[in-house]
Structure 1
Amino acid sequence: MMDSVRRRRYADSMKTIRPGLVAADIMQSAARTLTIERNGLDALANAVANGLSDAFVRAVEAMSGITGRVIITGVGKSGHIGAKIAATLASTGTPAYFVHPAEANHGDLGMIARDDAILVLSWSGETAELKGIVAYSRRFQIPLLAFTSGADSTLAREADIVLLLPREQEACPHGLAPTTSTLMQLALGDALAVALLEAKGFTAGDFHTFHPGGQLGANLAHVSEIMHVGEAMPLVPSGTSAQRAIMTLSEKKFGCVGVLDHAGVLIGIVTDGDVARNLGRNLVELPIDAIMTANPKTIAPTALASTAMGILNKHNIGALVVTNAERVPVGIVHFHDLLRIGVA
């Protein structure tokens, strides 16, 4: 009997789209959800600019002042948001880790040290599973920060710093599924992470250290990490015969050859296209200077790979000579090198 009741309840919970529902109804629902959630973000921005400003500054100071990690915790949807905030903090220069409160109650409290700080996410501020980790923070005087909408809640009373979230309407028509509330938690977490990033002077280079993989890591790679150097560079001195320079161009396989003055400074470049456009001339008798493009585009070795790709795309060229401040070549980077590491 009980099995049949459970099956019926499950079937009821898995209802299909009701008859007569049209695309306009679906899009109206989507627009309503986005409007409600946008209103929630507007309310949060207003709160941070006004009543929450002092607490927000204190939170940034507390999280940047510890020598340990920021421990994030929460249950349910707040826990999922907490895990994302921990990942964002860790990737932007603030060591952070998510600890599930249920696991904390069964041994994982040992992962939290006295030089850490704890950030608790709880919409109501009365989540029972959080009692253990809150009590632990008080026992060992570990800084306790809270995201909650419960101004008079147990969590708000115990926390050292309370970031009080405005009680805005959930996008769920029943007011039950966490939607607007979790979006505000997420946005406030991002605001903390970015404020900490800027306060610490976290650079693009630092970001690359924590993101070596994927397209993001590729875009943050420096040109010096991927450029070809030494004998691989296609370079000839000014006055070299066009015939000899074209042989160098062909041998090095970068689609170009750089031309240097007597001091080794780059003064021009000749590409496959330049050669093709001058096939009607007697190249055997001409110096390479006669067909080169003067003052070619170059890039510094400290520039980002994404910057190199931008220059190549903008000027429709296949390679860039990498030069130092005196425009002396130190390497060359090709379009294929950027594609190989995943810059696109």
Structure 2
Amino acid sequence: MTTLEALRPTEKLPVYRVLELLNFDLTAWERDQQGNPIDNPAINGRAYPWSFHDKVSGQDVFMLWHAEMEDRDGQIVYRQGWDEFLRELDESRPQTAARADAFLKHISNLKKNAVVRVSIVEGSRAKATDTQASKVARRVLDSEPWHLSFWDPLSNTFEFTRGLPRAAESTPNDVPPADEPDLSLLADIQAIHGSDGSQTEKERLVAARLGQGRFRSEVLARWGHRCAVSGATTLQVIRASHCQPWRVGTNAQRLDPANGLPLVATLDALFDVGLITFGEDGRVRASPHLADTAIPVEGLRLRRPLDAEEAVYMDFHRKEIFKAE
């Protein structure tokens, strides 16, 4: 069990490096507002926000103060109520208040139990009534994912909890709800952190296991940044599912974008547990165990033929994952 003290930052990573470790698209950081190249992209005004969202990978990362974290029955929690904080900031530091508003708006765009990444910071934490802003002395990227465990927009109270949300009870078809990762996900991530390899490789594997990061970006690129079936372009609801599951693949297979399929959440959940698959002709095949007629899958098909590499992984899914009987 990780202690709060063990999470205390011991180095100062630039914000740019934190985002780089998560494989964020940092193209915009390389030029100033006039379009001129920046010698050091890590040093510019883009580093000041308290949270970041990557449209390409779908990842979210929040900068949270170590001093405001607490250990609650063995879980590391960051809970804040910002109503009074915002009112005082508006009077003392309007620019900082704008950053706080943006931070809360980012939270409001997340679903409960949404999985996020956290950069832990330490330094001089200013009070809302102070005229001087906070100063960060150390900053690291936590290797474990967190999740949004509570959000009340009326009181501007939010809570992030370290780790993945606990798995919900199984549905009749054993399909976990879309926002409730199962316990095998946590076990896989813990195994990654306990394995050999560089920190960068481990971050890539964690992101791929979560259907995020470079793996998700490359899978989306293969399909024109659309759902492989519906053609939907709302990236927030598209997930990168593995055809050959994580538990039976090598690291190379886990990171291979040919092993991924971008699907909207409902199709992704059905595909993940083998209630649907895709035939060699690209048409959806529904399992006899899919008894819910309210989920229309009849007549659906992939938007393009699979290439040779993709076909190998899909063949595995049909033979080993799909519940044909």
TM-score normalized by structure 1? 0.23
TM-score normalized by structure 2? 0.24
- Determine which structure has the larger helix proportion and give its number: 1
